Structure 1
Amino acid sequence: MQTSLTSAKISGVIVSYNPDIDALRHLVAAVAPQLDQLFIVDNGSRLNVSSSINHGMCTEIIELGDNYGIARAQNIGIERARSTGSSFVLLLDQDSIPASDMVAKLLAAVLAKQEQGYQVACVGPHYTDSRQRDAAPFIRLEGLKLKRQICSASNTLVDVDFLIASGCLIPISTIDAVGMMVEDMFIDYVDIEWGLRAQQLGYRSYGVCAATMKHALGDESIAFGKRHVPVHSPLRHYYHIRNAIWLCRQKWIPSQWKFVLMWRVARQFAFFSLMTSPRLEHARMMALGLLHGVVNRMGRR
């Protein structure tokens, strides 16, 4: 049976880890009215998330008791959504704030594309980071270059290769066909891997320019030319490098993507080794990530 705007059941999954409680409350208040159900999956935060959030706005708060990574937390939330009969799942990070009509705009875009006969992997909003001058572009690979796709109009749908997980609306039927998130990746590149895997199976992802969201990238940022580059901890840069190398080693990844990923690794290694402090620690952790990606040492560091 074709899903309609009125029959769609949408569950939200927020993954939290040592969140700013006020920001998390703001997120819950913003997104809960747009959903049928809302699950928070907490990855072993130091504070008690369950006692800090209004349970009247959440279907369930799942406290894992330890940090198992964003991929496993997302999978647990997705399974809960599936078990309750949801037809769509909306993934969210703790540092995102959706517009009041974001989910409705995303759902309308999915249903329109499905009506046209497309197999939809996911749709995601046009997001802004207050530390950046411009809204973040959508990304698509053309040849051997990642092309930034800018929204030319508010009603535009942008055909992309992948989307960031936060704000991503995914049909449960697509997850059934494509599979779950790779838990061994732990964090970083999880959404890229899933998006590219879906693409290889004939599913398409779309950026929805009419749907908007605020989202923070990185712990801080540094000015570099006309851009502000998000900067993470040395440990996060370890995961960036390791998971990019691991992804390059997958047989199903197209050769163009392998080239782009390796070039990206080289640029990140050089930039963060020279431009961020502590430089030696960033370089050491990225070198370790490179080694572990080559020898297939995955999971939590």
Structure 2
Amino acid sequence: MKFSAIIILFYPERPILLNNIRLLENNGWQVVVVDNSPQSHKSWLSSSVEFRHCPENAGIAHAQNIGLLLARQQGRDYAMLLDQDSHLTEHLLQTAKQRVIEAQSRYPDLAAYGPTIVSEFDGQVVRAKVQRAVPDEHGFLHSRQIIASGKIIPLAVLSDVGLMEDALFIDGVDHEWCWRASRKGFRIISDTQVLLRHKQGESRKRVLGMTFKVGSPVRLYYQYRNILILLRRSYVPLYWKVRNCVALPVRWVINGWCLEQSKERRRYMRQGLTDGLRKRAGRYRADQ
């Protein structure tokens, strides 16, 4: 079996990136790097790395699609999607290869396999509070969705499920693809035997006894807009719709009044609501 790893860059940290690439290549993974940064980072990389540059920042979905199509064209069987700030280990890379093949042998309808995510901020396993994954006797967890980083896709399923949705640009891309795969009868699995340290958001903020993820202000635009876009779709789980309808006003208060850059955050949230109602997708533009 042939494996590719697709790393998406946007102003990456050099030591983390190069260490991940070294581990991948030492463990037999072909590496594809798609760079959404304005300035190319190709000079950091060896000639063994397949490199593509999108200086206009085409979005994470488009960048992932570039990598997935390239891996499929080159005859790879599986492709792993990776964010630039995930921390790989030799154990993860060796074990994930074996376990995804085992998972597909047990569940031929597998669309995506992923590790258990460990938060970079507190070292705790990230678990859903609602719609928890269902364990089986083999150490696999049957899930509604898994995040993009560490997700391994058997490339043959792209013919049925399709690629990532470019128009969403960033937030919700990973979950939407999983829900679309489930609607077509495929299975989403994570693995208790493989752990991946991953940084979700840029920091954490505790307000009124609750901990909130803090990201850049512009991410609020995509979060609000894409929630309104996805709420209209029948295959999106009802629990997700209810949870986010409840969360939107809470996020408004926290981001708009309790965090730094609150005025800018309110502006992006307003524009996200406006464009979501208008079904306007794609990249955010200041002149829209």
Aligned equivalents of 1:123 and 1:296: distance in 2? Answer: 31
Q: Which residue of 1 aligns with 2:272?
A: 289
Q: Does 1:209 align with 2:201?
A: no
Aligned equivalents of 1:23 and 1:45: distance in 2? Answer: 19
Sequence identity (%): 28
* Paired AA for residue 43 in structure 2: S
Q: 1:115-130, aligned counterparts within 5 Å?
A: 115-130=105-120
The secondary structure found in structure 2 opposite 1:98 is coil
Shift, 1:79, TM fit: 0.6
Aligned equivalents of 2:136 and 2:207: distance in 1? Answer: 26
Shift, 1:122, TM fit: 0.7
Q: Please say if residues 71 and 183 of structure 1, whose CA atoms lie closer than 8 Å, have aligned partners that are also in contact.
A: yes
Aligned pair partner of 1:104 in 94, 117, 121:
94
Aligned equivalents of 1:244 and 1:18: distance in 2? Answer: 26
Q: Which residue of 2 aligns with 1:63?
A: 53
* Paired AA for residue 234 in structure 1: P
Residues 252, 12 of structure 1: alpha-carbon distance in 2 compared, 3 angstrom cutoff: same
Q: Which stretch shifts more, 289-298 or 227-236?
A: 227-236
Q: Does 1:230 align with 2:222?
A: no
Shift, 1:224, TM fit: 4.4
Aligned equivalents of 2:134 and 2:185: distance in 1? Answer: 24
Aligned equivalents of 1:274 and 1:168: distance in 2? Answer: 35
Aligned equivalents of 2:207 and 2:96: distance in 1? Answer: 33
The secondary structure found in structure 1 opposite 2:64 is helix
Aligned equivalents of 2:195 and 2:69: distance in 1? Answer: 26
The secondary structure found in structure 2 opposite 1:210 is strand
Aligned equivalents of 2:209 and 2:118: distance in 1? Answer: 16
Number of equivalences: 284
Q: Which stretch shifts more, 101-110 or 23-32?
A: 101-110
Aligned equivalents of 2:134 and 2:16: distance in 1? Answer: 28
Q: Please say if residues 12 and 92 of structure 1, whose CA atoms lie closer than 8 Å, have aligned partners that are also in contact.
A: yes
* Paired AA for residue 257 in structure 2: L
Unmatched tracts of structure 2, length 5 or more: none
Shift, 1:149, TM fit: 5.0
Q: Which residue of 2 aligns with 1:3?
A: none
Aligned pair partner of 1:259 in 242, 246, 250:
242
Aligned-residue RMSD, C-alpha? 2.3
Residues 30, 268 of structure 1: alpha-carbon distance in 2 compared, 3 angstrom cutoff: farther
Aligned equivalents of 1:116 and 1:174: distance in 2? Answer: 16
Aligned pair partner of 1:45 in 38, 43, 48:
38
Q: Please say if residues 105 and 211 of structure 1, whose CA atoms lie closer than 8 Å, have aligned partners that are also in contact.
A: yes
Aligned equivalents of 1:276 and 1:182: distance in 2? Answer: 31
Residues 197, 152 of structure 1: alpha-carbon distance in 2 compared, 3 angstrom cutoff: closer
* Paired AA for residue 54 in structure 1: S
Residues 152, 256 of structure 1: alpha-carbon distance in 2 compared, 3 angstrom cutoff: closer
* Paired AA for residue 262 in structure 1: C
Q: 1:23-172, aligned counterparts within 5 Å?
A: 23-46=16-39, 48-56=40-48, 58=49, 60-137=50-127, 139=128, 146-148=130-132, 156-172=139-155
Q: Which residue of 2 aligns with 1:21?
A: 14
The secondary structure found in structure 2 opposite 1:45 is coil
1:205-258 per-position Cα deviation (integer Å, ceiling 9, x unaligned):
111111122211112221347764321111011111111111112243344443
1:46-97 per-position Cα deviation (integer Å, ceiling 9, x unaligned):
3x311012334x2x11112321100000000001000000111100010011
Shift, 1:124, TM fit: 0.9
Residues 119, 226 of structure 1: alpha-carbon distance in 2 compared, 3 angstrom cutoff: farther
Aligned pair partner of 1:220 in 203, 212, 218:
203
Q: Please say if residues 146 and 174 of structure 2, whose CA atoms lie closer than 8 Å, have aligned partners that are also in contact.
A: yes
The secondary structure found in structure 1 opposite 2:116 is strand
Q: Please say if residues 10 and 35 of structure 1, whose CA atoms lie closer than 8 Å, have aligned partners that are also in contact.
A: yes
Q: Does 1:176 align with 2:159?
A: yes
Q: Give the TM-score, by structure 1 length.
A: 0.86
Q: Please say if residues 140 and 189 of structure 2, whose CA atoms lie closer than 8 Å, have aligned partners that are also in contact.
A: yes
